[in-house]
Amino acid sequence: MTKGTKTIKNKELFVGLVFSLIFLVIAGRAVQLHVIQTKWLTAKAESQYNKYLVTCGKRGTIYDANLKELAVSLEVMSIGAFPGRMEDISQNGKKMAKILGLNSKKLTKTLKSGKSFVWVKRKVAPNDVEKIKNLDVKGLEFIPEHNRFYPNMGLAAQVIGFTGTDEKGLEGLEFQYNRELEAASDKFIVTKDALGRRFNSSGSSVTGFSGNDLVLTIDKRIQFIAENALKEASEEFQAVSGTAVVMQPDTGALLAVAHFPEFNPNIFKQYDRNVWRNRAVTDPFEPGSTLKVFLAAAAIESNVCTPNSIFFCENGTYRIGRNKVNDTHPYQWLSLQQIVKFSSNIGAVKVSEITGKKLLYKTLTNFGFGKQTGIDCPGETSGILSNYNTWSSIDTGAISFGQGISVSAVQLLAGVSAIANGGKLVKPYIVKSIISPDGTIVRECGKTKGRQVISPETAEKIKVIMSTVVTDGGTGVNAALSRYTVCGKTGTAQKIDKGGSYSNDQFTASFVGFAPQQHPAVAVLVILDDPKVNHYGGVVAAPAFKQIVHETLNYLNVEPETDSNDETILLAQRIEAKR
C-alpha cells in the first residue's frame, strides 16, 4: 500500500467518524425533543388540534295555559367555512355573496384572511341555505343554531319579553326565567385536522340539553281579548298608553296582561325601549277612586260604619286646612255605599276621618299596598305607601280617594281580587308550571295559600257596594253586563305634572272590578294613561272593562246569572235584522 493510499484510508475513516459525531448530535437532539421537551411540545401540539366545541341545546318553549306556543326556539343554519378546503374562493365567494345578500368583496376578503375557520353568515333563512348547499362548495360547514321566535308577534310581548342574539333573556319572563329556559351547553374536546375537520368523534355527541319549558297562566285567547279591547279604547280616547290585566280572583293566576302600545319582540330593537316593560308590574301609578273600595273595607271591617252610614258631602267643596277637596257633582248626604257608587271624594275624606289613618293604613297594607306582590316578573315595583305617622290630614284625605299613594296594576287587581275572593288575598302569578324536556313537571306554581285580609262578611258587603257602581246613577254604568252582575269601581286620578303638582289636564282613567258577583270568575283592571278625548274612568276605561269581561266570561263558558231570555230575544231580533 502506498503512502498516498494510506492517507486516503485514514481520511475516509476520519470522515466516517465526523458523520458518526453528527449522528450523535442528532440522537442527542432526539432525546431533547422526545424526552426533555415532550411535555411542552405535546401541550403546544394539543392546543393546535384539540378544539373546544360548545354545543347548545334548545331553549325552552313558553306556552300559554292551553299549551299554545308563545315563544319558541327554531333551528336555523349558520354557514361557516374552512377556506383551506375551499376551491376557487373568489368565484365561490361571489356566488355565495349574491345568494346571501352580502358584500362580495368583503366576503372574499374574509375567506382569504388566512384563518382556518370563518363565518360566512349566521342564522340564514332555510331557502338560502338550500341554495348555498346546491352550489356544492367544498369547505362549507352548516352549523345548526337556534333562533328565538315569537309566533304571535306582539301578543303578551311585555310579559314574555325577549332574548338577545345569543338567546339570553333580556326582558320579561325570558329574563326572569332565563336559568330555567336556558339550554345547557356542553363543552367538549374534539380533535380536528388542520382543515378543521373532525376526525376523532369518539365519546362526544353533539346533542345538547334543552332548557325547561314554561307554561303560563296567560290564556292566549283572553290575552287577545284584553289586548283588542285595550287597543280600541286607547285609540278611541287617544291615550298615551294603556294596561289591562285579567286575573283569576281565587288563585291569583293572571289570565292576560295587555299593554298598549304593543311591540313585536321578533324585532324588538326597532321599538322604543319604553314599550318593552311589563308596566302592569313595573310602573306605579296613583290609582284614584278605585282605592275607595279599600277605604270602605277599612271602615266596615273595623265596625266604624255600615254601608248605610251616611255622611254629609258639603255640597261639592270641602276645606281641609288650606286645601280644598271638590266633587265632580255636588252632594249633600250620601251613605257609604253611595259615596262609592257616585265616587264622592268629599264623602271618602269624611269616611277616612272617622276611620282614622292608622286603620286605613293597616287595611291598605293588609291588602298588599306598599309591598311587592312577589309576582314572578322582573322589576316589580312596590308602589308608594308612606307610613301613616307621616300623614297629614290632607294626606289621609287624599289617600282615601287614591291620590298621594301609588300602586302597580297587579297590586291593585290583587287587592280587588281579595274582595271578590271572600276577603282572601292570594299572590298573583304568571307561570303555572315548569316542565322539563322529557315532560316531567319540575315545578308547579301558584299553590300559595291565601291570606284573609278582611272577613268574608265585610267582603260580601263591599261586593254589594261595588255592584251598585254599575247600576243606574253609578259612575260605572258603562261596565254593566246584561247577563252577569258586575262589581266594579271607576278611577280617575290626576297625574303629577312635571312641576310636581297635580295636573288639571292629565289623568289616569281606570276601571277595576270582577264578575259574576256570586262566584267571581275574573277580575279585570283597565288603565288608560293620559286619554285626551275624555278622562273619566267610567267613560274611558269602563267600556273596555265590559268588553273584556263579557268576552272572557263567554269564552270561559261561565254560566250567566240573570235569565237569558231577554238576551235570546235580543239575539233573535238581531239575526232577523241582519236578514
Partner 1 sequence: MAQARQTTDVITGFDTPLLLSVLFLTGVGIVMIYSASSAIANNTYGNGYFFLRKQTIFSVIGGLVLFLSSMIPYRMYRAFAYILLAVSALLLVFTQIPGYGHAAGGAARWIRIGGFTFQPSEFARLSMIIYLAYSLSKKQERIREFSIGFLPHVIVMMLLAILIMIQPDFGSVVILGILCWIMMFMGGVPIKYLGGALLGLLPLAGLVMMSASYRVERLMSFLDPWKHQTDEGYQIVHSLMAFGSGGFWGKGLGNGHQKLFYLPEPHTDFIFSVIGEELGLWGVLLILTLFFVVIWRGIIIAMRTEDLFGSLLAAGLTIGISLQTCVNMGVAMGLLPTKGLTLPFLSYGGSSLLINMVAVGIIINIGKTRPHGRT
Q: Which of 64, 58, 61 is nearest to 431 (CA)?
A: 64
Q: How far is the CB of 50 from partner 1 (least distance, A)?
A: 9
Cα gap 155→260, rounded to integer Å: 11
Spell out, one character per residue from 163 to 192, where the chain touches partner 1: x when CB under 8 A holds, - when not. Answer: ----------------------------x-
Nearer to partner 1, 26 or 571 (CB): 26
Fill in the amino acid letter for 155.
L
Q: Considering only residues 524 through 543, tell me which ones interact with partner 1, judged by CB under 8 A.
A: none
Nearer to partner 1, 83 or 488 (CB): 83
Q: Which of 128, 141, 193, 232 binds partner 1 (CB under 8 A)?
A: 193
Q: Which stretch binds partner 1 (CB under 8 A): 11-19, 174-182, 218-226, 450-458?
A: 11-19
202 is catalytic: no
Q: Is 567 in the site for partner 1 (CB under 8 A)?
A: no
Nearer to partner 1, 25 or 575 (CB): 25
Residue 399 and residue 352 in contact, taking contact as beta carbons nearer than 8 Å: yes
Q: Is 40 in the site for partner 1 (CB under 8 A)?
A: yes
Q: Is 198 in the site for partner 1 (CB under 8 A)?
A: no
Cα gap 160→157, rounded to integer Å: 5
Q: How far is the CB of 113 from partner 1 (least distance, A)?
A: 12
Alpha-carbon dihedral sign for residues 469, 470, 471, 473: positive
Fill in the amino acid letter for 422.
G
Q: Which of 189, 195, 320, 464 binds partner 1 (CB under 8 A)?
A: 195
Q: Considering only residues 73 through 112, tell me which ones interact with partner 1, judged by CB under 8 A.
A: 84
Q: What does the CA dihedral 505, 226, 407, 417 come to, rounded to 10 degrees?
A: 130
Q: How far is the CB of 269 from partner 1 (least distance, A)?
A: 38
Cα gap 263→147, rounded to integer Å: 18
What three-state secondary structure class fits 46?
A: helix
Q: Which of 119, 149, 188, 199 binds partner 1 (CB under 8 A)?
A: 199
Residue 362 and residue 304 in contact, taking contact as beta carbons nearer than 8 Å: no
Q: Which stretch binds partner 1 (CB under 8 A): 18-26, 105-113, 164-172, 291-299?
A: 18-26
Q: How far is the CB of 81 from partner 1 (least distance, A)?
A: 16
**Residue 522, Ramachandran bin (φ over 0: left; ψ between -120 and 50: alpha; else beta):** beta
Q: Which stretch binds partner 1 (CB under 8 A): 28-36, 57-65, 96-104, 240-248?
A: 28-36
Q: Is 33 in the site for partner 1 (CB under 8 A)?
A: yes
Q: Is 4 in the site for partner 1 (CB under 8 A)?
A: yes
Number of residues that bind partner 1 (CB under 8 A): 40
Nearer to partner 1, 19 or 119 (CB): 19
Nearer to partner 1, 24 or 125 (CB): 24
Q: Is 330 in the site for partner 1 (CB under 8 A)?
A: no
3-state secondary structure 363-415: HHHHCCCCCCCCCCCCCCCCCECCCHHHCCHHHHHHHHCCCCCEECHHHHHHH
Q: Which of 255, 173, 268 is nearest to 211 (CA)?
A: 173
Residue 442 and residue 407 in contact, taking contact as beta carbons nearer than 8 Å: no
Q: What does the CA dihedral 511, 514, 515, 519 come to, rounded to 10 degrees?
A: -170
Q: How far is the CB of 201 from partner 1 (least distance, A)?
A: 14
Nearer to partner 1, 196 or 211 (CB): 196
Nearer to partner 1, 188 or 312 (CB): 188
Nearer to partner 1, 38 or 332 (CB): 38
Q: Which stretch binds partner 1 (CB under 8 A): 2-10, 336-344, 463-471, 496-504?
A: 2-10
Cα gap 2→557, rounded to integer Å: 126
Side-chain-side CA neighbours of 104 within 13 Å: the count stands at: 10
3-state secondary structure 121-186: EEEECHHHHHHHHHHCCCCEEEEEEEEEECCCCCCCHHHHCEECCCCCEEEHHHHHCHHHHCCEEE
Q: Is 29 in the site for partner 1 (CB under 8 A)?
A: yes
Q: How far is the CB of 17 from partner 1 (least distance, A)?
A: 9
Spell out, one character per residue from 470 to 509, where the chain touches partner 1: x when CB under 8 A holds, - when not. Answer: ----------------------------------------
Q: Is 8 in the site for partner 1 (CB under 8 A)?
A: yes
Fill in the amino acid letter for 192.
K
Q: Which stretch binds partner 1 (CB under 8 A): 23-31, 104-112, 314-322, 379-387?
A: 23-31
Whole-Å CA distances, 458 to 297, 343, 423, 487: 7, 19, 8, 15
Fill in the amino acid letter for 222.
I
Nearer to partner 1, 51 or 122 (CB): 51
> How much of the chain is in helix, strand and coil states, percent to nearest 5?
40, 25, 35
Q: Which of 125, 135, 143, 194 binds partner 1 (CB under 8 A)?
A: 194
Relative to beta strand 502-515, strand 522-529 is antiparallel
Q: Bridge partners of 187?
A: 54
Catalytic residue among 73, 210, 234, 289: 289
Q: Which of 504, 494, 462, 443 is nearest to 285 (CA)?
A: 494
Q: Which of 9, 106, 273, 329 binds partner 1 (CB under 8 A)?
A: 9
The residues of the shown chain that bind partner 1, judged by CB under 8 A, are: 1, 4-5, 7-9, 11-13, 15-16, 19-20, 22-23, 25-27, 29-31, 33-35, 37-38, 40-42, 44-46, 48-49, 84, 191, 193-195, 199
List active site positions.
289
